[in-house]
Amino acid sequence: EAAVTQSPRSKVAVTGGKVTLSCHQTNNHDYMYWYRQDTGHGLRLIHYSYVADSTEKGDIPDGYKASRPSQENFSLILELASLSQTAVYFCASSDAAGGSNERLFFGHGTKLSVL
């Protein structure tokens, strides 16, 4: 089974502070994604990447940056955390673009609370 590891599992941040969420995959997958999930809602795509040193904007990129320093690692950066960014964040990987005939493998999620 493919492995996607996120850290930290939970974090409390202060408004205006910087937050970095990390994701590591051992699947040798080209595609990696960051999604956020708000209580009672589905997942929304923030950023994704299909190759190291390159990232792309998803549906809701405002307030977030992403970094893909290697095939295995993909980070999500909140330079100035805001209350509205309180959510659960999921990292995922796939061998090809997520809407094709390829399964997405998710990490366990990071619960972020911004106070």
Partner 1 sequence: GQQVQQSPASLVLQEGENAELQCNFSTSLNSMQWFYQRPEGSLVSLFYNPSGTKQSGRLTSTTVIKERRSSLHISSSQITDSGTYLCAISSGSWQLIFGSGTQLTVMP
Closest CB to partner 1 among residues 17, 105: 105
Footprint (CB under 8 A) of partner 1, residues 87-106: 88, 90, 92, 97-106
Tell me the C-alpha distance between 65 and 78, whole Å: 6
Site string for partner 1, 1-40 (x = CB under 8 A): ---------------------------------------x
Closest CB to partner 1 among residues 31, 81: 31
Site string for partner 1, 41-80 (x = CB under 8 A): xxxxx------------xx---------------------
The C-alpha R_g of the chain, in whole angstroms, comes to 13
Q: What is the 3-state secondary structure (H, E, C) of 36-96?
A: EECCCCCEEEEEEEEECCEEEECCCCCCCEEECCCCCEEEEEECCCCHHHCEEEEEEEECC
